[in-house]
A = this chain, B = another copy of it.
């Protein structure tokens, strides 16, 4: 029993393999068929986007799928090359080798291996929480900006020209300069394919439904748009002999299963690639887990973040040893897999078998496949990632979230991918710290006829001239400790009659060492001014921690269980008067504390 539990823990596949039945099998097989058809053009196109030979895209869609099937926790996630990670791979590998060279291909392998290791290390060290530091606006801005970059990078294939550049600033002039040299047949193929794919995405399904085609079949046919596009354009190129006219094609792709590979160890190059690999892991993980969670929720299943790390790590290691490049869970293909009826990861295993079959038997068919058609499939698929709606919503909802998002977008487009994500994360953390560094602080007084204390600015409450009761609505830590110090000195200086200060700690969940130092300083300065410092409503864990320091021994006043107890001790007369006053209705509105 124990053995089985442990096996399940590390090999989630065991749990769904038990009880696998015929209906599961049918669902998985059909889904695999659809996803395979979808993956053929995608894997060739994303390999092109990553600057890698086309077969690398196929290889990355075989072993990684099987590795994820064994170790991943999502039942329907479909792993493989995806657009964002492909561009990140190109940017990282391009820094150490020329696109398409042997050392470039090797760099992509190293990136896959390092990503795998980083993901597995995150699983072992339980560092999955690091992904939460990528706030949604930053991720959303990042994906929008990368989608724009990707679309821009594919324009050269639509035009049939050369134009290199990692940022929009580099790409735009290169494209404008090269545009007059565009190859007309290429432009024609590219434009027609793009228009067709847009239509297939938005107009085909409604049309089929109008012809009484069943919804599920209409869906699948609409998804097969890219396959139709590459078949049609390949035929046109072959029949009209457009290669002679300068149309770039995929060309000869070696047939066969992925050769085994192991990237050669080179400390300098690996060290140079590590930050990019870490970023690829993090972005890949975030993208993948949100897809996995969305799908799992639809069937009331749960996804374990740590198992996801293991699954994705295994998939990337598998990519590294089978001549692939970094992979992650893709949104579009996972949704297709799910909608086509996949029940378990066996669908992915069947998909891997399908792609392997293609790699062994059908590569000669890609000889006349025009690059412009692949570029069209990339452009149409990434344009759906550009999410201006969220930009607009974020602008309306919060300027600080918007500025983190805007910084990410602008820096990705102008400076680069890594700088962009770094700028976004840094800005969102700084803005968060800045916000909490100026916590809401309220002077409170007793609500007549009750034992409750509320903000003097929002309620008609009773206060004592000798006692200043202050409620801080935030934990006390390094970023806000000095603010409290300054605030308190200001208030005490303005009120010469004050003899006691009571800090109401009901909202203080933590006091860190910096804040403790500040409290010591506050205590000291108040003492010199003849003012006693008290605490009230200190939470249990906070009090336990304070007892590990000398602060409570130095404290000039007392620690009161409740603010009411504090006031009845420090100013019994006023408290008695407040207790006896008629209760006010207002209290029930606890909202405005």
* Chain A residues engaging chain B, CB cutoff 8 angstroms: 129, 132-137, 297-298, 300, 302, 393-394, 396-398, 400-402, 428-429, 432-437, 439-440, 451, 473-475, 477-483, 489, 493, 506-507, 509-510, 512-514, 516-517, 525, 528-529, 537-540, 543, 545, 548-550, 561-565, 588-593
CB distance from A341 to the nearest CB of B (A): 19
In whole Å, how far is A523's beta carbon from the nearest beta carbon of chain B? 12
Contact A514 B137 (CB under 8 A): yes
Do A477 and B591 contact each other (CB < 8 Å), given the known contacts A513-B136, A548-B397? no
Question: Of all chain B residues, which has the CB nearest A433?
Answer: B133
Report the nearest B residue to A485, measured CB to CB.
B293
Q: Establish whether residues A478 and B135, one from each chain, have CB atoms under 8 Å apart when the complex forms.
A: yes
**Minimum distance in angstroms from A304 CB to a CB of chain B:** 10
B-side contacts of A394, CB under 8 Å: 513
Among A300, A478, A510, chain B packs the most CB atoms within 10 A around the CB of A478
Assess whether A562 is in contact with B537, with CB atoms less than 8 Å apart.
no
Contacts of A506 in B (CB 8 A): 590, 593
List 5 additional A-B contacts (Cβ < 8 Å) besides A400-B512, A429-B433.
Answer: A135-B512, A136-B517, A397-B545, A439-B509, A561-B588
Distance between A435 CB and nearest chain B CB, rounded to angstroms: 7
Kindly identify which residue among B436, B517, B537, B589 contacts A591, using a CB–CB cutoff of 8 Å. Answer: B537
| Chain B residues, CB < 8 A from A517 | 136
Also in contact, A591 and B538, with CB within 8 A (given A396-B549, A437-B132): yes
Q: List 5 A-B contacts (CB under 8 A).
A: A133-B433, A302-B489, A302-B493, A537-B591, A562-B590
**Is the pair A397, B549 in contact by a Cβ cutoff of 8 Å?**
yes
Nearest B-chain residue to A425, judged by Cβ: B478
A505 nearest in chain B by CB position: B591
From known contacts A137-B513, A398-B545, infer whether A528 and B297 are also in contact, taking CB-CB under 8 Å. Answer: yes
Report whether A133 and B561 are in contact in the complex, using a CB–CB cutoff of 8 Å: no
Q: Are A516 and B549 in contact (CB under 8 A)?
A: no
- Kindly provide the distance from the CB of A481 to the nearest chain B CB, expressed in whole angstroms: 7
Minimum C-beta distance from A500 to chain B (A): 19
User: What chain B residues lie within 8 Å of A473 (beta carbons)?
Assistant: 509
> How many whole Å from A399's CB to the nearest CB in chain B?
10
The answer for the CA separation of A479 and B135 in the assembled complex, in Å, is: 7
Other-chain contact of A478, B428, B509, B564 (Cβ < 8 Å)? B428
- B residues in contact with A548, CB < 8 Å: 396-397
Q: Which of A298, A510, A563 has the most CB of B within 10 A?
A: A510
Which of B135, B482, B540 has a CB less than 8 Å from the CB of A132? B482
Instruction: Verify B437–A514 contact, CB threshold 8 A.
Output: no
A136 to B519, CA, bound (A): 12
- Complex: chain B residue closest to A549, CB-CB: B397
Contact among B402, B474, B561, B589 for A589, CB-based, below 8 A? B561
CA distance A588 to B589 in the complex (A): 20
